[in-house]
Amino acid sequence: MTDADEVWRLEVIGEATGCGFAVTPTRALTCAHLIGRGQRHCRVASLPGTRAVAVPSAYDKHVNPIPDIATIDISGHPADAVAPMGPANRPTAGTVLDLFGLPDRGREGRRSQARVSGPSRTGEWIQIDAVHGHTAWVEPGFSGGAATDAATGLVVGMVVSADRSLSERSAWVIPNDTIAASAPWLAAVLADPLSGDPDFVAVLRSLNSRRYTAARDRLPDLHSRHRRSSDLYYYWAIVLLQGVRPANHSGEVIDGIERLLGEACRLDSGSAHAQALLALVREDYYGLRSLPVSGRGGHHELTASHVSTGHAIEIVSHVPATECLTWRSLYRRSMG
């Protein structure tokens, strides 16, 4: 049905057949109009049995079709097969979106592209228009499908409706901020889109098994989607250290790591773990060479005291600079 990397895309079978997408290992989103009036169950082609569905009480396709949003319980779905969710802010006019639908059930599906035109009359949906005249267009079977930003690959909304006129070639998407208003649990996911990105989950898994090269290979794609995320640069620095103390790296590598951690601190001045890692890198590399650390480091005790236990464990595990005062402070912090 979809590419191997897109197993988060779902086929949803209710009163009608359409799409959905896994947002967490237990929750997926789809359009309420696929489920059927008064129904609270549907089928997901990739999962056995019927699945419970939560439809906002305000929705009634015969009276009030907005918001046309439903949450599906997909317990049993693979933990790492979740959609790369984008931020809560909606795409601007002119943004090109990639779409995927299942107009012919049991077939391979169909892809399309559209360009954001602007908000709907109520402002809750956004209108999209065809990019190319020959592009396959939105029709029944696209409903509930993820609309992804063509430049970043991040999900920015859900396809909901299309103009039935073949000449108009317009459709509508429910943007993430509108979805979150009807599905409040989504707000936490959108607040930190990096943590829910399947590639980031894979990076953490590779780090846990010390497969630094495998982790590094996924970072460029993550950067294209999450360049404003402080933690991306923090983890990139850990990956580049490769489990080796900073003092054993070249000056060129340390310069790169300092730039990464500097960007992490710039994006989030309250990131204690990025500050602590930067202090440790500088203390070990410059201290071993008896080079001045003043102006480069921080107050290690103060910095370490604000680092979470989880991040402290992470740093002392991957950066074995055991002689450094910062490392020892972090080790005490890692013990709780």
Name, in order, each residue with C-beta under 8 angstroms of 27's C-beta and a sequence gap of 6 or more.
Answer: 71, 72, 73, 74, 185
175 close to 156: Cβ distance less than 8 angstroms: yes
Nearest to 305 by CA among 324, 333, 328: 333
At 182, is the pLDDT very low, low, confident or very high (cuts 50, 70, 90)?
confident
Q: What is the DSSP string of 224-286?
A: HH-TT-HHHHHHHHHHHHTTS-GGGS-HHHHHHHHHHHHHHHHH-TT-HHHHHHHHHHHHHHH
Q: What is the DSSP string of 289-310?
A: TT---TTT---HHHHHHTS-HH
Q: Which two three-digit tokens encode residue 79?
A: 């933990």
Question: Could you tell me where the beta strands, DSSP code E, fall in 64-138?
Answer: 70-73, 96-101, 110-119, 126-130
The pLDDT value given to residue 66:
67
Going by the DSSP 8-state scheme, the letter that residue 145 receives in this structure is P
pLDDT at 297 over 60: no
Long-range contacts of the stretch 200-205 (C-beta < 8 A, 24+): 200/226, 200/232, 201/79, 201/80, 201/82, 202/80, 203/235, 203/239, 204/235, 205/80
pLDDT at 198 over 50: yes
The pLDDT value given to residue 305:
83
Of the two residues 177 and 134, the one the predictor is more confident about is 177
The pLDDT value given to residue 148:
95
Q: Which two three-digit tokens encode residue 213?
A: 């090269």
Query: Which amino acid is located at 12 in the chain?
Result: V
Phi, psi of 96, rounded to the nearest 5 degrees? -90, 130
pLDDT digit string (tens) for 309-319?
Answer: 999 999 999 99
Mean pLDDT lowest for which of 25-29, 160-164, 222-226?
160-164
42 close to 50: Cβ distance less than 8 angstroms: yes
pLDDT at 302 over 70: no
pLDDT at 143 over 50: yes
At 1, is the pLDDT very low, low, confident or very high (cuts 50, 70, 90)?
very low
At 139, is the pLDDT very low, low, confident or very high (cuts 50, 70, 90)?
confident
Provide the angle, in degrees to the nearest 10, between the axes of the packed helices 230-241 and 212-225. Answer: 160
pLDDT at 11 over 90: yes
Mean pLDDT, the chain, integer = 87
pTM, two decimal places: 0.72
At 69, is the pLDDT very low, low, confident or very high (cuts 50, 70, 90)?
very high
**Pairwise CA distance, residues 110 & 283, whole Å:** 55
pLDDT digit string (tens) for 247-283?
Answer: 999 999 999 999 999 999 999 999 999 999 999 999 9
Task: Read off the pLDDT of each residue in 23-32 and give the average, rounded to a whole number.
Answer: 94
Question: What is the percentage of the chain residues whose pLDDT exceeds 90?
Answer: 58
Task: Read off the pLDDT of each residue in 94-108 and give the average, rounded to a whole number.
Answer: 85
